[in-house]
Amino acid sequence: MKAVRKVMKVATFLLLSHAFFFPLSFSAQTDDGIKTAKDAVYGEPGIDVLYTHTKGVSAFLHTQGAGINFRYGTFYTAKSSKSFAFDLLYTKDLREELTSNPYYVEALPYVLGKVHSLFSMRFCYEKRSEITPKLRKGAVQVGWLHRYGAVLGFLKPVYLNIGVGQLPYTDLVTERYNPEEHFYHDIYGRASWVNGLDDLSLVPAGHLGCGLTFEYGASRGQTQSLEIGAFADIYMSQMEIMSIEFVQPQRAFICLYVKLELGSNWTNGG
């Protein structure tokens, strides 16, 4: 019993000593200006709060085109957020190849067989969660995300400048491209992009995506991140980008992407 009492006395003494001296040792560490764990991450003292809101603007490349993104959301835990996102993107067929009229070097290049350009607007709901935090200056926070939503796809007809007569052409006319009527020898080049805007076809779709984020911003509340991932846009009908005479149209576009984002996190009212 005496041995047990001695052990209990020693344990009580150690606990009281730890409770008393630990604050003193922590205060001693703050003398060099390091006030919190995040001060070590950002290299300067500051006030750390739990963020309530987040937003970001980004540009991305995917395996069939490119786009831009904007998101706005809130944190529902200290390390997780939910956001509404909007994407505007361009998607091409992987088999597109630019060609040009060798007799008119000033003419705009075109894609033989391409009858539509595909532009899309995505409206998504996404969740982001932290996997590993930043632990020191120059470190990277790793996170993951998943998203889903609706897509509005716009097919815009392709217009070309067509030569009249034999080379050299006596005149040029702008016509909607028809691979059954227009061939190498009578295509001068691509017409202005605005042609066809009055004849858009709207096709809805669903969207699923997931990815990893690597946030490396050096300032409190300001984020800079690299994101890599994959997504699938599945349309309700076949999307004829290249003419059906050249390739079979597809409904599903499954792509990899890389994204660069600038953003910020903040506390509402702060």
Question: Which pLDDT value is given to residue 123?
Answer: 98
Instruction: State whether 58 and 170 are in the same domain.
Output: yes
Q: Residues 87, 57, 255, 189: is their CA dihedral positive or negative?
A: positive
Asked, for residue 119, whether it belongs to a domain, the answer is yes
Query: Hunting for tokens 């998203």 — which residue is that?
Result: 147
Q: Which residues contact 24 (CB under 8 A, 6 or more apart)?
A: none
Task: Answer yes or no: are the C-beta atoms of 65 and 239 closer than 8 Å.
Answer: no
Instruction: State whether 119 and 253 are in the same domain.
Output: yes
- Dist. CA 112–CA 97, nearest whole Å: 7
Q: How many domains does the chain have?
A: 2
Question: Which pLDDT value is given to residue 125?
Answer: 98
**Domain range holding 169?**
44-266
In terms of phi and psi (left: phi > 0; alpha: psi -120 to 50; beta: otherwise), the region of 14 is alpha
CATH code for the domain of 103: 2.40.160.20
Instruction: State whether 60 and 10 are in the same domain.
Output: no
Instruction: State whether 137 and 228 are in the same domain.
Output: yes
Long-range contacts made by residues 47-53, C-beta under 8 angstroms, separation at least 24? 48/220, 49/267, 49/270, 50/75, 50/78, 50/267, 51/75, 51/221, 51/265, 51/266, 51/267, 52/266, 52/267, 52/268, 53/265, 53/266, 53/267, 53/268
Asked, for residue 38, whether it belongs to a domain, the answer is no
Give the pLDDT confidence of 68-92 residue by residue, as tens digits. 999 999 999 999 999 999 999 999 9
Asked, for residue 85, whether it belongs to a domain, the answer is yes
Asked, for residue 37, whether it belongs to a domain, the answer is no
Give the pLDDT confidence of 219-265 residue by residue, as tens digits. 878 999 999 999 999 999 999 999 999 899 999 999 999 999 999 99
Q: What is the mean pLDDT of residues 173-202?
A: 94
Give the pLDDT confidence of 30-65 residue by residue, as tens digits. 334 445 555 555 555 555 678 899 999 999 999 999
> What percent of the chain has a predicted confidence (pLDDT) above 70?
81
Question: Which pLDDT value is given to residue 47?
Answer: 58
Instruction: State whether 24 and 81 are in the same domain.
Output: no
Q: What is the mean pLDDT of the chain?
A: 86
Question: Which pLDDT value is given to residue 17?
Answer: 44
- The β-bridge relationship of strands 201-215 and 222-239 is antiparallel
- Dist. CA 222–CA 238, nearest whole Å: 42
